[in-house]
Structure 1
């Protein structure tokens, strides 16, 4: 899993990759903008994923813990956080027990999904 920016020569789209799946985080943020978080989640419940996600250590202290995480429903699985892993890392370090979360709809998830599941890659990411 990685969080990366797509090739800047093409555009400045922020993307999140997880195994054979990827989402356009820029689009996800547009869907989430202005929404009230549906709930809160425990960073501790997601701590095990951090070892598999690239985290910029210098960025952790700069993130705003009041900004909601963005999660998407994964078909036949459950929600997956696609934006907010640095907030989770900071929350764990500072022993914050809950973070706000916005969960996109199935339709929004599919629109943001770059590839994975029944969507084949249409562009190559480095």
Structure 2
């Protein structure tokens, strides 16, 4: 598996499912273009994409989506946390109860509301 930076246009096909779970009025394209995009490739094909943006001392996940034969919540958040070295925390917003539960098991805590979603935050050590 390989992580590589990509353009927003390259990330959009993998990020497309984010639109059905949107928590704000932003489009997936706007979220991708607002941040730095990356993909995780397996066998040369992208299986996970994300867009992140620095918000002060926090790395904020603007959008993330993918499909693979393994748990992308665990793998994706671990990769993003590695990218967040030097930041005090990692956060994202979601309205998906299953994602909140899985992220909670990984140390993320509800930290407020945004749009129609919940902000989940993990303080890094």
TM-score, structure 1 as length reference: 0.26
| Larger relative contact order (CA 8 Å, sep ≥ 6) | 1
Q: Name the TM-score, length of structure 2 as normaliser.
A: 0.26
More strand by share: 2
The structure number with the bigger radius of gyration is 1
